[in-house]
Structure 1
Amino acid sequence: MSKFFSNLQKALPRAAPWVPHLVTASGLLFGFLSIAAIFESHHRTALMWMTAAVVSDAVDGTIARKLNSANKLPNFDGKRLDAIVDYITYVMVPVLFIYKANLLPYTSNNWLLPAILISSAYQFAQTTAKTHDNFFTGFPSYWNVAVFYMLLLKSSPNSNLVLLVVLTTLIFVPIKYYYPSRTTKHKFIIMSLTLIWGISGISLIITYPTIYPIPLWISILCSVYYVAISIYNTLQSKSITLSTNPSVDNT
């Protein structure tokens, strides 16, 4: 793979640094196509385009680092572009999906959807939202994943209401969630988990609205494990911090 990027840089020295930014920007196209499908009530198609947006987001950073785009295009802020695209594809599109698919009790749309939009914007603006050791602080706005499970599980609007309120609250709880594409701690476990989750999720989208229990349970278990190991790692980190910095009794 490194040889491929090296050859690309030699063949297209001026264009190569723009490649990861084009990959990032493709998320806007996938977001637009998702919205078009949502308005047509083509839920499976919308999920497919939302998945394409996730894939582009997962690989753009790796490509940028391989091509050294940040240094070769110092006046272009790829991180800012990435944040704009992520907010649209991870927040705006799923919120629109929730609204158009009537996944919530009607009256709760008026307060919960704005709460999701504003709280997610707050998180995106936090300088500590992504830590130096490659974790997300607080629920990382995986609203597309929430929509995915609400559709597949066919959960009631009231159940969805409870879920979304909990997730919105978790934005402000400093749990450190693993950053799947950049994690260094437990990298093999997290990458394997992400791969298994992705394969099971894609298979579920392909067969939707028919839902097969085995890939569904695999997907759910992967998600539960991801949350559990993130909470465990957070508690462990706090425990280590407390043990190395004990409080001093001045009395």
Structure 2
Amino acid sequence: MKAFRPPSSRTAKAAAFSVHVFTALGAGVALIAMMEAVRGQWVAMFTWLGVALLIDGVDGPLARKIDVVRVLPDWSGDALDFVVDFITYVFVPAYAIMASGLLLPWTATVLGAAIVVSSALYFADRRMKTSDNHFRGFPALWNVAAFYLFLLQPPPAAASLAVLALIILTFVPLHVIHPVRVKRWRRLNLALIALWGVLALVALAQGFVVAWPVTSVLSAIGLYIVGADAVIRLFTR
């Protein structure tokens, strides 16, 4: 028998709905980022995507603290989050990757479409997160992938192959750590993410023209996030 819970007050409902509005702001930020991308203002685009990333990092804890699911049961925060995440993590970055000239010209449109299609399927997969809070497969973090392409400026053939590899890895059952939710080495993970954020701001402030130590540390952190779990599993068998 379910325990009786008194109806939520208007104040509680207003607070809960404000969290949904805050989450939805990410869609507006994505539109601004898209406008900058169309203009070829890549640093401005990544700056706005960074704002969207901050919103995504804050809205979840806020929703849990206010107990939005209980207070507003008719509104799906998960559905709203998926919509905003798809735009900010996938759609806008896919356009940037496709239109930036970083890929082989004859592959750009096909790979851009493949990014969007594969990510849509990934978002629909109920197994996208494991029981220990890892992502299963490449977690459609195309905003981050695009950032590294702009940072590293690989030859077009290498860039196209890298994008193709990530699309394939979307459906490969490797485990990628969630830096916030995975319990193992959480303090280290959070420290590395904080360092990554600072260095990413440095890269943006300098128009992606940065000294090799900044590029090296950013690349090392990216490799750690993607490959740490695989290395741990290899040595703990």
Question: Which residue in 2 is equivalent to 1:146?
Answer: 145
CA contact (8 A) 1:178 1:230 kept: yes
CA contact (8 A) 2:199 2:218 kept: yes
Given residue 215 of structure 1, which amino acid in structure 2 is its aligned partner?
Answer: V
Matches within 5 A, 1:83-98: 83-98=82-97
Measured against aligned partners, the alpha-carbon deviations of 1:19-74 in whole angstroms (never above 9, x if no partner) come to 33222211111110111001111111011001111111112111111111111111
Given residue 71 of structure 1, which amino acid in structure 2 is its aligned partner?
Answer: R
Shift of 1:236: 6.5
Given residue 181 of structure 2, which amino acid in structure 1 is its aligned partner?
Answer: R
Question: Which residue in 2 is equivalent to 1:39?
Answer: 38
Question: Structure 1: how far apart are the matches of 2:48 and 2:100?
Answer: 16
CA contact (8 A) 1:130 1:137 kept: yes
TM-score by length of 2: 0.90
CA contact (8 A) 1:180 1:194 kept: yes
Question: Which residue in 2 is equivalent to 1:134?
Answer: 133
Change (3 A) 1:30 1:236: farther
Q: Which aligned segments of 4 or more residues in structure 1 are displaced greater than 3 angstroms?
A: 9-12, 233-237
CA contact (8 A) 1:58 1:181 kept: no
Shift of 1:219: 1.0
Question: Which residue in 2 is equivalent to 1:169?
Answer: 168
Measured against aligned partners, the alpha-carbon deviations of 1:179-207 in whole angstroms (never above 9, x if no partner) come to 12322222112111111111111121122
Identity of paired residues, percent?
Answer: 30
**1:156 lines up with 2:183 in the alignment:** no
Matches within 5 A, 1:196-215: 196-215=195-214
Given residue 150 of structure 2, which amino acid in structure 1 is its aligned partner?
Answer: L
Question: Structure 2: how far apart are the matches of 1:29 and 1:236?
Answer: 45
Shift of 1:11: 11
Question: Which residue in 2 is equivalent to 1:226?
Answer: 225
CA contact (8 A) 2:103 2:156 kept: yes
Given residue 144 of structure 2, which amino acid in structure 1 is its aligned partner?
Answer: V
SS in structure 1 at match of 2:12: coil
Shift of 1:234: 4.8
Shift of 1:233: 4.1
Question: Which residue in 2 is equivalent to 1:18?
Answer: 17
Unpaired segments ≥5 residues, structure 1: 1-8, 240-251
Q: Which deviates further from its counterpart, 16-25 or 124-133?
A: 16-25
Change (3 A) 1:206 1:12: farther
CA contact (8 A) 1:176 1:234 kept: no
CA contact (8 A) 1:112 1:165 kept: yes
Question: Which residue in 2 is equivalent to 1:6?
Answer: none
Question: Which residue in 1 is equivalent to 2:116?
Answer: 117
Given residue 154 of structure 2, which amino acid in structure 1 is its aligned partner?
Answer: S
Root mean square deviation of aligned Cα: 2.0
Matches within 5 A, 1:190-201: 190-201=189-200
Question: Structure 2: how far apart are the matches of 1:219 and 1:127?
Answer: 31
SS in structure 2 at match of 1:15: helix
Shift of 1:102: 1.6
